[in-house]
Structures are given as structure tokens and as C-alpha cells.
Amino acid sequence: MDLVAILISWFPFLLTGIVATLGLVIAALGIGFIIGLPAAIGQVYGTPPVRAAINVYVWFFRGLPLLVLLFLFYFGIFPAIGLGDVSAFVVGALVLGLHGGAYQAEIFRGAILSIGEGQMTAARTLGMNRLQAIRHIILPQALLIALPGWSNEYPTVLTDTSICYAIGVTELLTRTSVIVSTEFIAMPIYLACAGIYLVLNYTGIKGLNLLEKRVAIPGFEAGSN
């Protein structure tokens, strides 16, 4: 049986791995956003204890290799708190999200800091409190500024999903390895797997680029305010 026939026969099996990989990416980016944006706000506008706690989080999750974090949570933290039966997929998505959130926090923090302090002062002068000014004045601009940098998280997270293979998540690489061990054909099948990653990467980046263009405001850029 030639390679094309092999891949066609295994495609439904491989498709489940692609779905799992995309699920990990979407979950990780979502968790990272939910954590990273408030963390960035806390870093810029929080009290010293809040900033210190956030800095520890960022330092911890940026300072450890992703594989170490996966093992730490899957074999250590989750069993220690009575959650040893949580699926590998959930652990993988959570760890990828926490890891990505530390990087997203820095992306959003930089975007917030790029907005002139005068805008906060002007908002307060108009009668807004600090939270209202952040929500209605600072964040809408910061999100636009951060979008290109945030979009770069997609290919990073996509490639990071392959590391979840180590804890048994049945993502694309795991499924590919099963096919290799069954068919005893390594290089061509792994090359096909690499091609799938490239297609997913290209498609996702193109989609995010379209989003950037759709929400872009002509003449608006960091440092122009």
C-alpha cells in the first residue's frame, strides 16, 4: 500500500488528532486571554502586593520549560489536590493556558503602557473613576495595539500542543505516532504530519491577519495618542 492510500485509510483517525490539537489551541488562547488581560491591568494599575503576586506568576510560568510544567501539574499538583482523574486533555489545555497567559500579560502590559498617561488624567477629569477609565478609554485602545502581538501567540501555542504528547493527550502527533508504529513507515508519515501543522499554522495566521485588518482604525497606532 502506498503512502497516499495509507494516509487516506487513516485519515478519520488522524482527523480526531487534528480536532484535539485545535481544541487545545482554542482553549489555551482563551485561558491565556482570561488570565493575561487582568494580569496586565494589575501590573500597571494594581497595588504593590498585587503587582508582586502577578510578577511571581509571570516569572514562574515563563521560567519553567513547558514539559516540566506539564509533568508538574499532571503527575504532581493535580493528584496532590485530589484531581488525579482529570483527563490529560484538560491538564494540557490548562497548562498551555497558564503558560501562555504569562506571555499574554506582557503583551497587554506593553500595549497599556503605550497609551499616554494623559488619557487616564483626562478621563478622571471628566468624572470617570479609575475602573471606568480603564474599561472605556484604556482597554479598547490597548486591545487594538496588542492584537498583532497577541496573534503571534497562535503559532507558538499550536506548536506547543505537540508537547502534550508526553502526558498522553491524543493530539495530532500522538495519532501520527500510532500510525507510524502500526505501518512501520516513519519519515513519510511524519513529513505528512509536519505538512498538516504548516497548513494549520498558515490558515490560523491568515485568519488572524484578516481580523486585524477588519478591526483596524485608520491612523490609529501605538504612540499616536
Mean pLDDT of the chain: 90
For 170, the grid coordinates are 491524543
Rounded distance between C-alpha atoms, residue 147 and residue 215, angstroms: 10
pLDDT above 70 covers what percent of the chain? 96
- Give the H or E element holding residue 178: helix 172-183
Helix, strand, coil share of the chain (percent; to 5): 85, 0, 15
pLDDT in tens, 154-189: 999 999 999 999 999 999 999 999 999 998 888 999
Contact 142, 81 (CB under 8 A): no
Q: What is the C-alpha R_g of the chain?
A: 21
Please state the rounded mean pLDDT for residues 60-78.
Answer: 95
| 3-class state of residue 141 by DSSP | helix
Q: What is the pLDDT of residue 221?
A: 57
pLDDT in tens, 79-130: 999 887 899 999 999 999 999 999 999 999 999 998 877 888 888 888 888 8
Domains and CATH numbers, the chain: 3-215 (1.10.3720.10)
Q: Tell which wins on pLDDT, 1 or 49.
A: 49
Q: What is the pLDDT of residue 32?
A: 96
Rounded distance between C-alpha atoms, residue 124 and residue 118, angstroms: 10
For the beta carbon of residue 225, count every other beta carbon within 10 angstroms.
Answer: 13
- Closest-CA residue to 22 (of 207, 182, 188, 215): 207
Contact 216, 144 (CB under 8 A): yes
Quick one: DSSP state of residue 72? I
Q: What is the pLDDT of residue 220?
A: 58
The answer to whether the pTM exceeds 0.75 is yes
